[in-house]
Amino acid sequence: MALRMSTENNMTLYEILALPASQSKTIFNSIMNPDDDQTDRIQLRFICFIGMTVVISRKHPRLEDVEIIANGTAGSIVGFAPSIQNSTCRVTKVEGAVIYEVQTLPELILVRVHDCQDTLVNGFPPGVIGIPALNAQVKLKHVKYVSRSSITVQLFAIVPGTTFSCKTCKDGITVTTLERLGVRTQSEYVALLRTIALNKLTLTEEITPEYIANFKPPHETITECKDFKT
């Protein structure tokens, strides 16, 4: 997705690699491209651009008191701190897109939280917060041909978002109407990403085939997904 949007809109792409602990470097170099489903929603290779929609996959302990930030909070990347200097990056080309490989992990990825007008950090614009790098243990039980069950890395617990936006609530209930995407820009949509089980799910209306048809993706999207499988 990032490669296609970069090519179509002439955006600058940045590739941010997780920083492995010294004892994990050898294994890390051999597994840099696993699907994040295999690494518990942790991306070892994160390709992004300014304006890209992202979702928080793990809440950083330093943001514990920031209630609006939670697993699943959506926002858009607005910058890095310190800012990334293109002249210090290694440049590669993939499928016609120019990618700047960041050599030094930034301290923060600046994210503007969707539907938030509050000042979250003094000196930052409304809705903008810095997401710090996280020290995390990546489990490798689903990755084949590695000699260890886990490695320790420093990375950003952020994954690319889709056309979904989401709103989180703490110790409460949010009631919202699900509609066809794009009908109203203020509509809220809930994406159940990598859900294993649902507990105490209450349906207030009957789910009909006509209702499900509202969420059928365009023909072009279906064709593109089929191409991925082949």
Query: Is 197 a member of any domain?
Result: no
**What is the model's pLDDT at position 131?**
95
First to last CA, the chain: 17
pLDDT in tens, 111-168: 999 989 999 999 999 999 999 998 877 777 666 656 666 777 888 988 887 544 344 4
Share of the chain above pLDDT 90, in %: 14
Beta strands 13-17 and 97-101 are parallel
Cβ–Cβ under 8 Å, residues 139 and 153:
no
Q: How far is CA 36 from the centre of its chain?
A: 10
Query: Is 194 a member of any domain?
Result: no
Determine the Cα–Cα distance for residues 113 and 75; give it in Å rounded to an integer.
Answer: 4
Query: Is 8 a member of any domain?
Result: yes
**What is the model's pLDDT at position 79?**
93
Query: Is 212 a member of any domain?
Result: no
Q: How many residues does the chain have?
A: 230
Query: Is 209 a member of any domain?
Result: no
Tracing tokens 């690699």 back to the chain, one arrives at 17
Specify the DSSP element, H or E, that contains 16: strand 13-17
Query: Is 90 a member of any domain?
Result: yes
Cβ–Cβ under 8 Å, residues 102 and 17:
yes
Query: Is 149 a member of any domain?
Result: yes
Partners of 75 in the β-ladder = 54, 113
pLDDT in tens, 160-203: 875 443 444 444 444 445 454 443 333 333 444 444 555 666 66
Classify burial at 88, counting beta carbons within 10 Å of its beta carbon; exposed 0-12, middle 13-18, buried 19 or more.
Answer: exposed
Query: Is 56 a member of any domain?
Result: yes
The total of structural domains in the chain comes to 1
Per the structure, the complete domain to which residue 117 belongs is given by 2-160
Overall pTM surpassing 0.75 (yes/no): no
